[in-house]
């Protein structure tokens, strides 16, 4: 980091470092998957309020849609959006391009094959295998793997793992070539590339081929939690440590404290996952170990949040005036809430109440949409107009996008959290199961409307993107000084090729 490959006139130029076309391609694909995932979520929400528009169609059954919803958001939206952002951040941070641009495009294509195959496998796999004799003889299932968040069919797992290895090689090349003290973002990225590969291998192969019973369950618990903590979290925080100082125009409050956060995550996080299986036959010392490790991570999280809020101290108005900063800091507030929830959830007393309830669903939405999706959408809001060399088509649409997403998510998460508490007490009172379902209806109805608000927000974003793309200038020289997001429409101009 310290030793740049060139200074002065020899300093690398942005054009030689960043392939802007691949950043845009990843973002557009990610947004397509976001739309699909939200549609799948809406269908599940409608199923719960007994209004499934696809009722009776086996291939489009709610169980399949639920897996599409979770897999597409994790591997389709988040992974693609992260890869797009990394193609901007890593070369600029390390002042070196990725290993190979052609490899980047190959990874982009291969990853889409993995995701689409996963979707096809989940929806069609078992049916195809049952109807085609040649496929029936295969020693493995073509359908979903029986692992939460790891439903990727077993025949795709080696391909996905090879893809993750290529991602690591492509992005690690500029990082390992740099010398001198590294910025915290580079630490997070480096760890994420290693952790994601190991986590995916551990979760998808060990329970499938070598472990059984409770042992497989324990590893499954590690997998689902590490997927959040060791894949999404380091990439998310790494990007925040990169974009926030740039957008605020000032450095992080304390780089030392940010390293405490990184190393704390490295040492405390890997044992957390078993807290998903409290009150199971897993030995209590492992369950207690997971609880203690979780509390330790909460302390680490506190250092990270303190650092970011100390950084913006004195520049609070940026939350109002700077859209990406607003998305980022809203995500951080949700992150604080979700970690507070996490601390409560891992206590045995509380776990007895909320386990299996909608509290967990609300928590998952708060993490996946409220935190990481918000950060990635904020990054897109910053980068897309910059890449297209024009301001957003409409500031008003951008505002609607933010408020519908943030309020919709807040209502959904609060609603499901409360629903979880109600459901827990229903079950604890030993009333018939149906009573808890009836009692949940008001919450589930409200959830549908909250989800619709979030979808409407994304609709505003997609339209704004399309109109902004339409009005982009032909080249840099043609770019006129924009009106700085005043919401007014600019005159149409010739288009660039991106």
Partner 1 sequence: MNEQTTVKIKRRLGMWLLTAVILVPCAYGFGTKFNEFIALYRGDAEGAFAISPILNYLLASFGFLLLFFWAAFKGMFHDIERPKHTMLENEATLNRGVPRHLVDLNTRSSGSRPSKHRLLDPSRMQTGNSHEYN
Sites for partner 1 among residues 178-217 (CB under 8 A)? 181-185, 191, 194-195, 198, 202, 206, 211, 213-215
CB 45 within 8 A of CB 444: yes
d(Cα 467, Cα 470) in Å, to the nearest integer? 5
Count CB neighbours of 201 within 10 A.
Answer: 17
d(CA 486, CA 493): 18
| Cβ closest to partner 1, residue 141 vs residue 396 | 396
d(CA 308, CA 319): 13
Helix axes 157-177, 79-94, angle to 10 degrees: 20
- For residue 204, what are its two tokens? 């998808």
Counting contacts by CB under 8 A, is residue 270 touching partner 1? Answer: yes
In the shown chain, the binding pattern of residues 396 to 415 toward partner 1, with x for contact by CB under 8 A and - for none, equals x-------------------
Could you say which DSSP state residue 12 is in?
A: P
Residue from the set 14, 177, 470, 489 that interacts with partner 1 by CB under 8 A: 14
> Cβ of residue 124: shortest distance to partner 1, in angstroms?
33
What is the footprint of partner 1 within residues 49-108 (CB under 8 A)?
A: 92-93, 95
| In the complex, minimum distance from the CB of residue 469 to partner 1, in angstroms, rounded to a whole number | 15
Q: Which residue has the tokens 């919709």?
A: 408
Q: Does 240 bind partner 1 (CB under 8 A)?
A: no
* Using rule CB under 8 A, residue 296 touches partner 1: no
Q: Give the SS3 label for residue 431.
A: coil
- As a residue count, the chain comes to 498
Minimum distance of partner 1 from residue 388's CB (angstroms): 10
Per CB under 8 A, does 302 bind partner 1?
no
DSSP codes, 414-447: HHHHHHHHHHHHHHHTT--HHHHHHHHHHHHHHH
Q: Please check whether residue 457 is in contact with residue 404, taking contact to mean a CB–CB distance below 8 angstroms.
A: yes
Please state the closest distance from residue 497 (CB atom) to partner 1, in A.
17
| 246 near partner 1, rule: CB under 8 A | yes
Q: How far from chain centre, in Å, is Cα 142?
A: 26
**What is the separation of C-alpha 283 from the centre of its chain, rounded to a whole number of angstroms?**
32
CB atoms within 10 A of CB 106: 14
Give me the 356-385 binding string for partner 1, x by CB under 8 A, dash otherwise: -------------------------xx--x
Report if residue 228 touches partner 1, rule: CB under 8 A.
Answer: no
Stretch that binds partner 1, among 5-13, 31-39, 159-167, 351-359 (CB under 8 A): 5-13
**161 contacts partner 1 (rule: CB under 8 A):** no
Residue with smaller CB distance to partner 1, 31 or 380 = 380
Please name which of 111, 80, 202 lies closest in space to residue 149, comparing C-alpha atoms. Answer: 202
Q: In whole angstroms, how close is the CB of 399 to partner 1 at the nearest point?
A: 8
Q: Does 255 bind partner 1 (CB under 8 A)?
A: yes
Q: Nearest approach, Cβ of 475 to partner 1 (angstroms)?
A: 12
Judged on CB neighbours under 10 Å (0-12, 13-18, 19+), 477 is exposed
Q: Does 271 bind partner 1 (CB under 8 A)?
A: yes
User: Which of residues 133 and 249 has its CB atom nearest to partner 1 in the complex?
Assistant: 249
Residue 111 CB, nearest approach to partner 1 (Å): 25
């Amino acid at each position: 980091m310290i030793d740049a490959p060139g200074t002065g006139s020899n300093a690398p130029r942005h054009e030689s470092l960043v392939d802007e076309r691949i950043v845009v391609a990843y973002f557009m694909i990610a947004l397509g998957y976001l739309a699909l995932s939200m549609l799948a979520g809406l269908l599940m929400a409608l199923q719960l309020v007994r209004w499934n528009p696809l009722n009776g169609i086996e291939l489009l059954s709610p169980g399949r849609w639920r897996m599409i919803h979770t897999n597409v958001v994790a591997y389709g939206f988040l992974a693609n959006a992260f890869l797009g952002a990394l193609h901007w951040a890593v070369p600029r941070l390390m002042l070196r391009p990725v290993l190979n641009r052609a490899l980047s495009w190959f990874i982009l294509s291969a990853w889409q094959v993995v995701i689409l195959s996963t979707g096809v496998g989940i929806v069609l796999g078992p049916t195809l295998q049952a109807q085609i004799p040649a496929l029936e003889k295969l020693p493995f299932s073509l359908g979903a793997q029986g692992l939460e968040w790891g439903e990727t069919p077993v025949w795709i797992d080696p391909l996905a793992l090879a893809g993750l290895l290529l991602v690591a090689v492509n992005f690690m090349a500029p990082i390992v070539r740099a010398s001198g003290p590294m910025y915290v973002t580079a630490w997070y990225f480096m760890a994420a590339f290693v952790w994601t590969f190991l986590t995916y291998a551990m979760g998808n192969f060990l329970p499938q081929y070598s472990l059984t019973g409770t042992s497989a369950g324990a590893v499954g618990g590690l997998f689902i939690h590490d997927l959040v903590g060791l894949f999404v979290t380091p990439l998310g925080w790494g990007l925040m440590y990169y974009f926030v100082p740039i957008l605020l125009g000032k450095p992080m409050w304390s780089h030392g404290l940010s390293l405490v956060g990184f190393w704390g995550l490295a040492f405390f996080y890997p044992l957390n996952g078993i807290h998903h299986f409290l009150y199971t036959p897993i030995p209590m010392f492992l369950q207690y170990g997971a609880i203690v490790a979780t509390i330790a991570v909460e302390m680490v999280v506190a250092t990270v949040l303190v650092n970011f809020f100390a950084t913006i101290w004195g520049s609070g108005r940026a939350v109002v005036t700077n859209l990406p900063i607003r998305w980022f800091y809203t995500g951080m507030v949700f992150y604080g809430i979700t970690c507070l929830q996490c601390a409560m959830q891992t206590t045995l007393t509380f776990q007895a109440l909320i386990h299996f309830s909608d509290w967990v669903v609300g928590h998952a939405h708060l993490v996946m949409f409220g935190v990481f999706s918000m950060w990635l959408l904020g990054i897109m809001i910053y980068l897309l107009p910059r890449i297209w060399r024009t301001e957003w088509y409409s500031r008003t649409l951008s505002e609607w996008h933010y408020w519908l997403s943030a309020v919709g998510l807040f209502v959904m998460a609060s609603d499901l959290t409360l629903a979880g508490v109600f459901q827990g007490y229903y079950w604890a009172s030993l009333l018939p199961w149906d009573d808890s379902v009836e009692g949940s209806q008001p919450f589930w109805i409200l959830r549908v409307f909250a989800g619709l608000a979030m979808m409407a927000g994304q609709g505003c974003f997609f339209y704004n993107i399309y109109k902004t793309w339409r009005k982009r200038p032909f080249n840099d020289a043609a770019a006129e000084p924009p009106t700085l997001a005043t919401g007014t429409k600019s005159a149409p101009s010739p288009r660039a090729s991106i």
